[in-house]
Amino acid sequence: MLLYLFITGLSFLFFKTLPLKPLPPWACEMRLLSPWFWKELSFFTISKLTKKSFSIFFLSPFPSKMSLKRKPLSLSAKVENVEEEDTPEMSVLDLPELVLECILERLPPDALFRMTGVCTSLRERCRSDHLWEKHMKQKWGRVIGPAAYREWQWHIASKTDLVDVKQGKQKGLMRILSLGWPFSWIRSRVDDHSQQRCSLPADSIMSWYLALETGRFWFPAQVYNRENGHVGFMLSCYDAEISYDPCTDTFQARYPPHGRRAVAIENGVPWERLRAPPIETPPHDLHMSDCLNELQPGDHIEIQWRRNKEFPYGWWYGVVGHLESCDGNENYCLCHISDTVVLEFNQYTHGSRWRCTNISRRDHREEGNEADGFYGGIRKLRTKEEISTWKRLWPTEVLE
């Protein structure tokens, strides 16, 4: 009854808003119809429309019984399905664990790096430190030492601090932006951006290798015959900061300032003129010699030397010689027990002031003067590799 009154009221309002026009001839006849007729008609129409809408909304997503029946496959389709089932595609991830590990270990660095872009599983495997540690030792082991590793750790820490500062600024910006945009939307964009940039762990060996290979990382090392083999630095080795140039397979070296001289820069330094610092003594500090009591004629040594006390030390190659009172006969030589140790630099001609110097075995400290320079600590060369390196760099002409 209420539905009838509601429809009648709507009909009255609708027809009342229409413009007044003369009624058609059949309108008088329609007036004669009983109100019960209109009631039954409206109820029948609404119920029919409701049932139709319900069936469309709820039953249309479900297939009919006919659509649920499986259509028979043709003979060719059956053959193709059998072939696909018999010959499944083989993936590299289906290989046994040991086989896959052996393959990855044999890949060169560039191929191993490209494998990280294949899939998530290979990316995690190819970033493993034990894979990149071998490549690091093979290519960079000669020039990378503890000092370079500490420099890398400081480099990572500084980058981490910078990222923290940037994230702090981003958080402040997010607070401002969240006043106008949804916070979840802003946070998702920032997180996606940070994940893309920080996908490779900064402290991984792979990250260190790539930083060295691209020349982005400067690290401490020592350079033989600095400044392109200048005559004043022949058979010496000085500390410098170096950076790799992948285009020329050489290095750029930055030497610390000497007195009033600015930083000296040398380009095109080959691998053969580089080494990792063999000891931890900084270039301006005196090395505490621990080999003085065992030095004897014929030993190969390196000794610190600098022009004046404002300059950093360089390491110079020499050998232990005999005293003037000794004829060099091994059966009668007592130079190894003498308090005086003779050091010879045979790259210089006889009579040169750089040819020979004497030091005290018992209480050696920095010795010298402004004219001849200052001699510092001594280290004995104990491997054939170190000695052969110095002999390979021997000058073609005798120095004055």
Lookup: tokens for 80: 């193709």
What is residue 166's predicted lDDT score, i.e. its pLDDT? 54
Q: Are residues 324 and 348 in the same domain?
A: yes
Residue 128 in tokens = 């493993």
Picking from 278, 238, 246, the residue whose alpha carbon sits closest to that of residue 385 is 278
pLDDT at 168: 55
Are 364 and 308 within one domain? yes
| Sign of the four-CA dihedral 283, 263, 235, 359 | negative
Do 154 and 252 lie in one domain? The reply is yes
Q: 259 — alpha (psi -120 to 50), left (phi > 0) or beta? A: left
In contact, 258 and 311? CB cutoff 8 Å = yes
Whether residue 149 is found in the same domain as residue 130: no
Choose the final residue of a domain: 221, 246, 277.
277
User: Which pLDDT does position 114 carry in this prediction?
Assistant: 92
Residue 58 lies in a domain: no
Alpha-carbon gap, residue 119 to 46, rounded angstroms: 59
Q: Is 311 helix (H, G, I), strand (E, B) or coil?
A: coil
Decide: 267 and 252 in contact? Cβ < 8 Å: yes
Same domain, 127 and 229: no
108/233 same-domain check: no
Pair (386, 261) in one structural domain? no
The H-or-E segment that residue 250 falls in is strand 250-255
Evaluate whether residue 373 is within a structural domain. Answer: yes
CA distance 397 to 66: 100
Residues 211 and 268 in one domain: yes
Please tell me whether residues 346 and 322 are part of one structural domain: yes
Tally of structural domains, the chain: 3
Say if 261 falls within a structural domain.
yes
Which residue range(s) make up the domain with 334?
299-393
| Residue at 282 is within a domain | no
Give the end of a domain, one of 242, 277, 312: 277
Q: Do residues 263 and 308 both lie within one domain?
A: no
Query: Average pLDDT per run of 10 along the chain, which is 400 residues long?
Result: 54 48 49 45 44 41 40 50 58 84 92 90 90 94 93 87 54 50 44 49 89 94 90 92 96 85 89 95 93 95 93 95 91 92 94 92 90 94 95 89
* Buried-exposed string 368-379: b where 16+ CB fall within 10 A, e elsewhere: beeeebbbbbbb
In-domain check, residue 108: yes
Residues 259 and 212 in one domain: yes
Kindly state whether residues 148 and 251 are assigned to the same domain: yes
